[in-house]
Structure 1
Amino acid sequence: MRVCAAPPFPADAPLVAEARWRAHDLLRLARLEPLADEPSWVRDAFARVPFAVVRRAEAAAGFVAAGMRGETRAQRFGTWIDVEDIESSIPPESLLAVEPSAQRAAFSAFVALKALRDDADVLNAFAWGPTGSAGFELATQVPTINEASDLDLLIRMPERCDTTTIQALFEALTRAAQHTGARVDAQIETPCGGVALAELAAGKPRVLARASDGARLVADPWQPRWQPS
């Protein structure tokens, strides 16, 4: 997030891992508690689209770290959601069953998403779905992407995957990008957190894993706990 609100709970409050919602889940909200340091656009954004995106940050019991989206890329705000204000949640993988409106299906990001759904031989083994602007539009049915928008994906990979499969995934995304003109960017969800597919495919000795307690370089993202460097 470009800006983040101060937590509405004490600084010394114990932080908990909330299992009901995961990073990139979209939350439909009944209410958004105003915070003193929120930008002026947040109220309008919430009135227009009452959704927030779960982000990777720890929170005290009864709260979830989430982000609000405005109408421009510069309008991103990290905030804290009271769990009592959550009406429902939408994980990225459930959005594969949602079609964009007929008027917007020709945008490159949606064309690339369709191409990847049709290329089931590679992705069918995983739970995966769109995040970012494409996922937000599919979940909310509010126009969000444009012709220059990337297609962001989340691929859940709780078990260790072999190099051949990693390369096949990367090549499938590359083909979709080449055929549609949309940049396709995938994040692999591992026990250590989110890791860029491109980094895994490149065979780097250590990759950046983003988790709720921060981002770290790790040698093995399938180790459930951080290992000393």
Structure 2
Amino acid sequence: MQVCAAPPFAIAHALSCDARWRPHDLLLLQRLPAFDGEPSWVREAFGRAPYAVVRRALAADGFVAIGMRGVGRSERYGTWAASADVVSAVSPEALAFSCTPLAGRNALPAFATLAALQDDATGPLSAFTWGPTGSAGFELATHVPTVTASSDLDLLIRTHDKPLARNLAIELLDYLQALAQRIAVRVDAQLDTPAGGVALAEWAAGKPRVLARHERGPQLIADPWGPASHGDDA
């Protein structure tokens, strides 16, 4: 997040995450608290689509860390919501097969790529639970036009309980890159692991350690599925 509100609780009380929601889930909110320093675009964005994405950050009981998105890439804001204000939630994997783009928007590269992935029942991605995040996920959830002709397709691939061998990661990355090249779009895939979010491309590259984005903060780790990666709130 380029801007983040100060937490409305003592840092010492930020000990966990509400297990009802996971990072990248989209939350429908009945109210959005305002904090000092809030960007001017946030209220308009909330009025247009009262949704926020769950971000990776610890919170005190009764709160959830969320991210707001505006019209452009520069309009991103990390803030906080009260758990009691969450009306409903939708996960990326639910969006993958239960929602369709608005009429006339299927041909946008991000949605065309998503459709190709949905239709491929034998490709390497079919072995995993996955779904769209970013602008594609936001539009599918809110029905507010968000995807543009230059938008990436962001994906979340659940591997929390299923370690991804490096050779399979390479196969999956090659598959996604070939599809992206054919449709002329960028596909950015993140693995959901016990250590946090890890870029598929980074894991497939065979680096000794990879960056894992965890609720407690980013960390470099050799094995995102190893015993050291399993925290109480992972």
TM-score, with structure 2 as normaliser = 0.93
Q: Aligned to 1:136, what secondary structure does the other structure show?
A: helix
Please point out which of 200, 206, 209 is paired with 2:209. 206
Unmatched runs of 5 consecutive residues or more in structure 1 = none
Alignment correspondent of 1:219: 222
The answer for the alignment partner of 1:116 in structure 2 is 117
Indicate conservation of the 8 Å contact 1:130/1:151, yes or no. yes
CA apart distance, 1:144: 0.2
Deviation at 1:17, TM superposition (A): 2.6
| Residue 145 (structure 1) aligns with | 147
Could you tell me how far apart the structure 1 residues matched to 2:217 and 2:12 are? 18
AA aligned to 1:171 is D
Q: 1:14 to 1:116 in 2, by over 3 A?
A: closer
SS in 2 for 1:12: helix
| Aligned-residue offset at 1:169 | 1.1
Gap regions ≥5 residues in structure 2: none
- Give the letter aligned to residue 8 of structure 1: P
Report the Cα offset of residue 219 of structure 1: 0.5
Partner Cα distance (1:14, 1:224) in 2: 24
Deviations 1:41-93 (A, max 9, x none): 11111111100000011110100000011111111110001000000001000
CA contact (8 A) 1:5 1:35 kept: yes
Backbone CA RMSD of aligned residues: 1.3
Aligned to 1:10: 10
The 3 A distance-change label for structure 1 pair 224 and 80 is farther
The answer on whether the counterparts of 1:26 and 1:51 sit within 8 Å (CA) in structure 2 is yes
Give how far 1:14 is off.
4.4
Indicate conservation of the 8 Å contact 1:6/1:37, yes or no: no
* Structure 1 residue aligned with 2:184: 181
Distance 1:89 1:74 in 2: 25
Q: Which moved more, 1:131-140 or 1:112-121?
A: 112-121
Superposition deviation, residue 224 in structure 1: 4.6
Percent identity, aligned pairs only?
57
Does the Cα contact within 8 Å between 2:28 and 2:86 map onto a contact in 1?
A: yes
Counterpart of 2:135 in structure 1 is 133
Amino acid at match of 1:106: A
TM-score by length of 1: 0.95
Structure 1 residue ranges, 4+ long, deviating more than 4 angstroms after superposition = none
Q: Which secondary structure does the structure 2 equivalent of 1:225 belong to? A: helix
Q: Given that residues 129 and 154 in structure 1 are in contact (C-alpha distance below 8 angstroms), is that contact kept between their aligned partners in structure 2?
A: yes
Cα shift at 1:120: 2.5
- Are 1:192 and 1:224, in contact at CA under 8 Å, matched by a contact in 2? no
SS in 2 for 1:120: coil
Structure 1 partner of 2:100: 99
Contact residue 17 and residue 64 of structure 2 kept, 8 A: no
Report the count of equivalent residues.
227
AA matched with 2:199: A
